[in-house]
Chains A and B, each alone.
Chain A
Amino acid sequence: MVRFLIHCLLVLFCGGLSAFAQFGDVSEMAFSELIAGAEVAIKNQQPAVAAPLLKEIIARAELVDDEQARESVQMARLRLGMALADLQKTEEARRYIEEYLKGTPCEKADVATQVLCRLSVAEGDWQTLYETASRIIDDKQIALRHKSSARAYLVQALFELGKYDQALEMLPEVMAEADDEQTVQLLKIMQLRALLETGKVAGGIELLSALFRGDTRYDTMLNLTLLRMGDKMFDSQRYNQARILYGKITPRPELIAWLAQEVELLKQKNAGRKEWRKEDSARKETFENNILLLNDIPDYSVYVTYRVAQIFAEQTRYWEASALFDRLYKQTPASDEGKGAFLQRVMLLFELDQDEEAIAVAEEYIQSNTSGLYPRLVCIQLMQHYLAVKQYDDALALVATMDRWTRPANDAELDQETTLRYMVGFTHFQAGDYDEAYAAFDRVARLNPNSQAGMDTGYWKAMCRLLQMKYKEAYEAFVSYRQTWPRATFAPAALFRAGVCRFGLEDYAGAKKAFQEFVDSYSRDTLMPEVLSMLADLQAADGQIDEALAGYRRAIELVKVNYERQRDPVLKKQIVVPATYAVVQAAQTLEADAEAYREEKEYQVATEKLQEIITLVEDYLDAFGQDSDFAPGVFWTGRAQIQLGQVEEAVSSYLDAVLRFGKEPAAEGVADILFDLAGIIERKLTPEQREQTIEKIRAARERAATRALQIRLDVLLAELDDTTDELGRTLLAGEKDLSVVPPAGLSLMCAALLETGDVSRSQEFYDHFTANHEGSVFMKNAYRLRSEELYQQGDLDQALKLAEETLAQYGGSPGTGWAQVMKGRVQTDQKKYEEAVKTFKAVFSVGAWRKEAVAEATYRLADAYVLQGDYRKAFAFFQRTYLIYKASNDGLWAAESYLRSAECLRKLGQEPAARNTYRAMLLDDYVKEHPRAVVAREALGSQEVAELMSAGTNAMESVEAEVDL
């Protein structure tokens, strides 16, 4: 009945709604007017109009106690609740809904509870929403078809309450029930977030990928959500997830362009229509609002790209990071992000060993950008690279570019400029250009005097002078530095160096004073071991033996402590160096002390001193193991033992050291020990001891753990029984893998090749030595072999270069005489006869070359004179060769000299003398069986030869010529 009445009145009043405004106060309206007005307002979605009317209805109908009135009140309560919810007056709305739910009749309880759900959403009260939605779903009175929105509310509540797993379980069903595309979209976004929150990243990414295949990637809210979620992942250090999310975000310009394009398409679609289609109108409004929103916010594209690049770099995916930074720089070169991206790229290129590219782009950048912070930062990268690879010239070439920049405009630029100029100073310093280094450091001090670098330049300027041995100036600079900056980082080092300056000025008392001050003031400083040793050296020189020894021991103990603390294996090895020095110095001091006691006939004390050396060295070797420098250690132990008459013990010490440290081909220091050992065996042992020792060596050889050690011991045995040539030949035939052969063995192999004249493997041996044993004393034969091959190939310049390198490296030591001779040979071939003569003559002045090279040098000297046409001098030196150096090279030079001297005599018109020379050759036991003797036999003829052989005598020939050497 009430409904019928409402319907009739609706018809009458629907067109007159506008007249409602004229009524003003609702309390003056008739009940029927109230109802009609409310219905119209609700139908027209005018909650503000409906609300007071509904309130008035309730107020009046509540007073009437009949069923229809109660129905009206309930209906009004429900509708009022809905209207107030629309007006976002949530509290008031909730009150009326709850009154409805408590009242009767309550036929639309499902609608009422859904309104409550809406209210909870508006208030963000997710727990209440959860409870309310759950109640609807569990309520069997409510039809299933009314429960779908409740499920949607429940899923939202679960999500907002962080119950993601439960939300994920419900979402597929809720999405299937959703009416419109927009709701599905929102639910998918919720699903995406839940997947990510629960760590189901792969599922989230797959969903994202699926979502982003179509136009969904242009959904503004989705993109902004991804941005927010990416930030959240980044902030919680879930970088990979952050990267993936950021990577999906559509760049803002692209997004805006798409939105604008869609608006345009909608305009074209609705062109000519009186009124736009409702859905098109709504879409256009949404798109235009999104464009405004996007234009209002900063462009996130740069920020997102930078973050993704940073994440790649953090994950060591340097190539991807570099590509992104490059893209960013090209996109926005003038912005801070762009400049920062450029710097990052340069650093990454160096990290990727793309040095050429890094240098090219960095150099171009600093040439074209002459002001600001970033050119300086980029330049620092370049400078660091050049210093690391020791390309000092390239580092210094940057100064010209730096000098073209504008002055630093702020503190940040000044700091970087200071760093750069400081590095310039160091570059000069490392290159040994101390004047230039001094000037560069001075510039830093003037540029930024109160900076750390500015402070430290005082020390480095003083160091420049010290290394130039300008001790007075250096001393004053160190002292001044300490006075100006007494607590500076280098203050202790400056005191130490000041002591070194006093030492350089031969003011030993001053040096001692400085070192003692250091020891008293800086007991924890890292330089303490060195200072203790230097002070101990001075004390030992002053006869303060006990003080000196105490100093050395203290230095060693300090190093032990530092060694134990250090974890880095490279640094551990470096730390040991001062202890090695202290041990050697202490050993020398103890030895000298023992000698002094022996002179005083206090043999027991002398013995104790020598024993102390052994204990000291053993302690050192035990403390530092493989990082110790065992060669000097073993040397001093052996030396002490020999002086103690413990020769066998000395031999054992040496042999133990070889067995312990000589397993690898590259073992340094073993060569010296083997050399000493061979000397001791040769000179210090009785024949019986010698035999026993050789047996020990043979036994050790059989047990040797590596091939390298076996060969080392084979070389030692061969040196003892003079069978090194044979060993060389054996190694050459048997050793295919050079990497297992120690340098001593390689040297014998080269010697064997030289013996046979086979130079074909010279490059192989030379390269192997260069790569693995550069600087080894055993490389001389490899140099010789290589030089000989180059000479034979006609590459005289390279042959000469190697010979000169050998002489520069090893000087006039045994095994380098050939190099001097090679020089002369090349000069002879280049027709520089006078130089060749000088070169050959120089061989005679080097004692170490007298056995190995003088025969050939004399021969070639004579040959040089021949080429100059001076046959007299030539004859004299040929004769000298065959008279003095008969046995050299199995008679080779003597034989050749006989024949060449005969030629000289012929040239001088002395045929009989020439024939006599042939006779002399055939009577000379050293050369008569030499293959070259056949020339003499042919020259004389068989009959004369037979006669000569039976007679057995001949006269010596001579020619007047100066034999000047």
Chain B
Amino acid sequence: MRKMGVIFMLLLLCAVVVSAGELKVKMQLASGKNYTGTLLERSGDNLSFKPSGAADAVAVPVASVELLEFKLNELGLDETDLLFRSGDYEQLSSLLNEKMPAVLPYADIPSNLESKVSQWLTASYWSGDYGQVLSVAGTAAKIRSAALAKQALFYSMLTFLEQGGAARVEPFLDTAKGKGIFPEGSAPRMYVQARILLLDGQYVPAMRIAANLVAEHGRDADWAPQAELLCAELYFKTGRPESAQVVLESIHECYTSPMITKKAAAIAAQNNGETK
């Protein structure tokens, strides 16, 4: 009976430990030693870490940690690669929004989370969650990775454009950094250029670029629908509503992404109102 009680208490304790948001990790210290255990919390420059088998947690200075390897499957982040590969950004974004906050306190510590943050940036942008893009970019900044920083800047610029910040984006394109992130002839650069021209009222030049975007990058699963949306809007602006309707019908027929269909509906509503 007593034995049963102890076992029960132990199980309960495990449950309590799990439910408190503790994270299973493998911690590699600068000294070269590795420990598996549970991250309990962070308090400033110290981590409260309970090694496996230990009774109590210990305080580990952040500066002494070489690498944190999170158990992604226990975090529920093991499915993200499949979702990312299949381009299911809405679901991916939703999943990452739910799971990633738990690890954010540890973002500035080298870890195996870089790829997840990268996916989070991508998914946030492509699911139209622009506020989240900038927030995740902030997280990415804490991770000392040149590739991630470049990606964060890329998506931040695209987000600025979506939020009416063309004036900020346009000069950036001409800088060396801008040319590196948005290379000449690339789909993102063409998209940005066309959008800026559209916002500036230069509809025909914008249309040319949008058409070339379709011609050169029609197989790009991410940019092809954006190009179509741009073409729909520009056909309205250049006085060809029938062509615009054809594009909108094509978008409706071919894309089920909520973000795309929502944008298409907005273009239709705005321009049909103007036409009337």
Chain A residues closer than 8 Å to B224, beta-carbon distance = 247
Residue of B nearest to A205 (CB): B254
A323 adjacent to B219 (CB under 8 Å) = no
A323 adjacent to B214 (CB under 8 Å) = yes
* With A217-B219, A323-B211 as contacts: A317 and B246 at CB distance below 8 Å: yes
Residue of B nearest to A254 (CB): B219
A213 adjacent to B221 (CB under 8 Å) = yes
Q: Tell me which of B212, B250, B256 contacts A323 (CB under 8 A).
A: B212
Determine the distance from Cα of A914 to Cα of B219 in the docked complex, in whole angstroms: 97
Asked if B51 is at the interface of the complex by the 8 Å CB criterion, the answer is no
A201 adjacent to B218 (CB under 8 Å) = no
Asked if A248 is at the interface of the complex by the 8 Å CB criterion, the answer is yes
Residue of B nearest to A207 (CB): B86
B243 adjacent to A209 (CB under 8 Å) = no
Determine the distance from Cα of A250 to Cα of B219 in the docked complex, in whole angstroms: 8
B246 adjacent to A315 (CB under 8 Å) = yes
Q: Which of B207, B212, B215, B249 has the most CB of A within 10 A?
A: B215
A201 adjacent to B254 (CB under 8 Å) = yes
Chain B residues closer than 8 Å to A719, beta-carbon distance = none
Interface residues of A in 190-212 (CB under 8 A from B): 201-203, 205-206, 209-210, 212
Chain A residues closer than 8 Å to B140, beta-carbon distance = none
Asked if B88 is at the interface of the complex by the 8 Å CB criterion, the answer is yes
The smallest C-beta distance from B57 to any residue of chain A, in angstroms, reads 42
Chain B residues closer than 8 Å to A281, beta-carbon distance = none
A244 adjacent to B219 (CB under 8 Å) = no
Map CB proximity to B onto A832-870 as digits: 1 under 8 Å, 0 otherwise: 000000000000000000000000000000000000000
Q: Tell me which of A244, A247, A316 contacts B242 (CB under 8 A).
A: A316
* With A214-B85, A316-B243 as contacts: A240 and B253 at CB distance below 8 Å: yes
The smallest C-beta distance from A338 to any residue of chain B, in angstroms, reads 15
Determine the distance from Cα of A319 to Cα of B230 in the docked complex, in whole angstroms: 12
Asked if A584 is at the interface of the complex by the 8 Å CB criterion, the answer is no
A319 adjacent to B210 (CB under 8 Å) = yes
Asked if A533 is at the interface of the complex by the 8 Å CB criterion, the answer is no
Asked if B23 is at the interface of the complex by the 8 Å CB criterion, the answer is no
Chain A residues closer than 8 Å to B256, beta-carbon distance = 202-203, 206
Interface residues of B in 148-206 (CB under 8 A from A): 204
Determine the distance from Cα of A247 to Cα of B243 in the docked complex, in whole angstroms: 19
Q: Tell me which of B87, B211, B247, B250 contacts A322 (CB under 8 A).
A: B211
Residue of A nearest to B255 (CB): A202
Asked if B144 is at the interface of the complex by the 8 Å CB criterion, the answer is no
Q: Tell me which of A248, A322, A324, A326 contacts B219 (CB under 8 A).
A: A248
A213 adjacent to B86 (CB under 8 Å) = yes
Determine the distance from Cα of A205 to Cα of B251 in the docked complex, in whole angstroms: 11
Asked if B216 is at the interface of the complex by the 8 Å CB criterion, the answer is yes
Asked if B231 is at the interface of the complex by the 8 Å CB criterion, the answer is yes
Q: Tell me which of B86, B208, B211, B231 contacts A210 (CB under 8 A).
A: B86
Determine the distance from Cα of A323 to Cα of B218 in the docked complex, in whole angstroms: 12
Determine the distance from Cα of A71 to Cα of B177 in the docked complex, in whole angstroms: 78
Q: Tell me which of B215, B219, B253 contacts A202 (CB under 8 A).
A: B253
Asked if A327 is at the interface of the complex by the 8 Å CB criterion, the answer is yes
Interface residues of A in 298-349 (CB under 8 A from B): 308, 315-320, 322-324, 326-327
A320 adjacent to B221 (CB under 8 Å) = no
Q: Which of B210, B216, B243 has the most CB of A within 10 A?
A: B243
Residue of B nearest to A217 (CB): B219
Map CB proximity to A onto B219-257 as digits: 1 under 8 Å, 0 otherwise: 101001000000100110000101100110110011111
Q: Tell me which of A217, A244, A320 contacts B215 (CB under 8 A).
A: A320
A324 adjacent to B215 (CB under 8 Å) = yes
* With A212-B219, A323-B212, A323-B214 as contacts: A316 and B246 at CB distance below 8 Å: yes
A327 adjacent to B216 (CB under 8 Å) = yes
Q: Tell me which of A240, A247, A316, A323 contacts B240 (CB under 8 A).
A: A316
**B interface size (C-beta, 8 A):** 32
The smallest C-beta distance from B210 to any residue of chain A, in angstroms, reads 7
The smallest C-beta distance from B200 to any residue of chain A, in angstroms, reads 18
Residue of B nearest to A210 (CB): B86
Determine the distance from Cα of A201 to Cα of B256 in the docked complex, in whole angstroms: 10
A209 adjacent to B221 (CB under 8 Å) = yes
Residue of B nearest to A206 (CB): B256
A320 adjacent to B255 (CB under 8 Å) = no
Chain A residues closer than 8 Å to B204, beta-carbon distance = 354
Residue of A nearest to B246 (CB): A315
The smallest C-beta distance from B227 to any residue of chain A, in angstroms, reads 9
Determine the distance from Cα of A479 to Cα of B253 in the docked complex, in whole angstroms: 63
A327 adjacent to B215 (CB under 8 Å) = yes
* With A319-B207, A319-B211, A319-B231 as contacts: A247 and B246 at CB distance below 8 Å: no
Residue of A nearest to B227 (CB): A320
Residue of B nearest to A250 (CB): B219
A210 adjacent to B88 (CB under 8 Å) = yes
B215 adjacent to A240 (CB under 8 Å) = no
Chain B residues closer than 8 Å to A323, beta-carbon distance = 208, 211-212, 214-215
Determine the distance from Cα of A319 to Cα of B227 in the docked complex, in whole angstroms: 12
Determine the distance from Cα of A250 to Cα of B218 in the docked complex, in whole angstroms: 11
Determine the distance from Cα of A323 to Cα of B254 in the docked complex, in whole angstroms: 21
Determine the distance from Cα of A687 to Cα of B208 in the docked complex, in whole angstroms: 72
* With A317-B231, A323-B215 as contacts: A244 and B254 at CB distance below 8 Å: yes
B221 adjacent to A201 (CB under 8 Å) = no
Determine the distance from Cα of A320 to Cα of B221 in the docked complex, in whole angstroms: 17
The smallest C-beta distance from A569 to any residue of chain B, in angstroms, reads 21
The smallest C-beta distance from B205 to any residue of chain A, in angstroms, reads 11
Residue of A nearest to B253 (CB): A201
Chain A residues closer than 8 Å to B250, beta-carbon distance = 240, 315
Chain B residues closer than 8 Å to A250, beta-carbon distance = 219
Determine the distance from Cα of A319 to Cα of B243 in the docked complex, in whole angstroms: 10
Chain B residues closer than 8 Å to A241, beta-carbon distance = 253
A317 adjacent to B253 (CB under 8 Å) = no
Determine the distance from Cα of A244 to Cα of B252 in the docked complex, in whole angstroms: 13
Determine the distance from Cα of A319 to Cα of B210 in the docked complex, in whole angstroms: 9
Chain A residues closer than 8 Å to B210, beta-carbon distance = 319
Chain B residues closer than 8 Å to A322, beta-carbon distance = 211
Chain A residues closer than 8 Å to B218, beta-carbon distance = 247, 308
Chain A residues closer than 8 Å to B212, beta-carbon distance = 323
A320 adjacent to B214 (CB under 8 Å) = yes
Determine the distance from Cα of A213 to Cα of B83 in the docked complex, in whole angstroms: 11
A205 adjacent to B219 (CB under 8 Å) = no
Q: Tell me which of A205, A206, A213, A320 contacts B85 (CB under 8 A).
A: A213
A319 adjacent to B246 (CB under 8 Å) = no
B243 adjacent to A317 (CB under 8 Å) = yes
A319 adjacent to B254 (CB under 8 Å) = no
Chain A residues closer than 8 Å to B247, beta-carbon distance = 317
Chain B residues closer than 8 Å to A212, beta-carbon distance = 219, 221
Q: Which of B87, B204, B219, B256 has the most CB of A within 10 A?
A: B219
* With A205-B254, A206-B255 as contacts: A247 and B219 at CB distance below 8 Å: yes
The smallest C-beta distance from A325 to any residue of chain B, in angstroms, reads 9
The smallest C-beta distance from A291 to any residue of chain B, in angstroms, reads 21
Determine the distance from Cα of A322 to Cα of B243 in the docked complex, in whole angstroms: 14
Chain B residues closer than 8 Å to A240, beta-carbon distance = 249-250, 253-254
The smallest C-beta distance from B133 to any residue of chain A, in angstroms, reads 20
Map CB proximity to B onto A134-175 as digits: 1 under 8 Å, 0 otherwise: 000000000000000000000000000000000000000000
The smallest C-beta distance from B262 to any residue of chain A, in angstroms, reads 15
The smallest C-beta distance from B267 to any residue of chain A, in angstroms, reads 15
Interface residues of A in 247-283 (CB under 8 A from B): 247-248, 250
B87 adjacent to A319 (CB under 8 Å) = no
Chain B residues closer than 8 Å to A317, beta-carbon distance = 231, 235, 243, 246-247
Supply 6 A–B pairs (Cβ within 8 Å), ascending by A. Answer: A206-B255, A210-B86, A247-B218, A319-B208, A323-B208, A323-B211
Contacts A202-B253, A319-B211, A320-B215 aside, 11 further interface pairs with beta carbons under 8 A come to A202-B254, A203-B256, A210-B85, A213-B85, A217-B219, A240-B254, A316-B243, A319-B210, A319-B231, A319-B235, A327-B215
Please list the residues of chain A having a beta carbon within 8 angstroms of any beta carbon in chain B.
201-203, 205-206, 209-210, 212-214, 217, 240-241, 244, 247-248, 250, 308, 315-320, 322-324, 326-327, 354
Which 5 residue pairs across A and B have the least CB separation, nearest first?
Answer: A319-B211, A323-B215, A323-B211, A209-B221, A210-B86
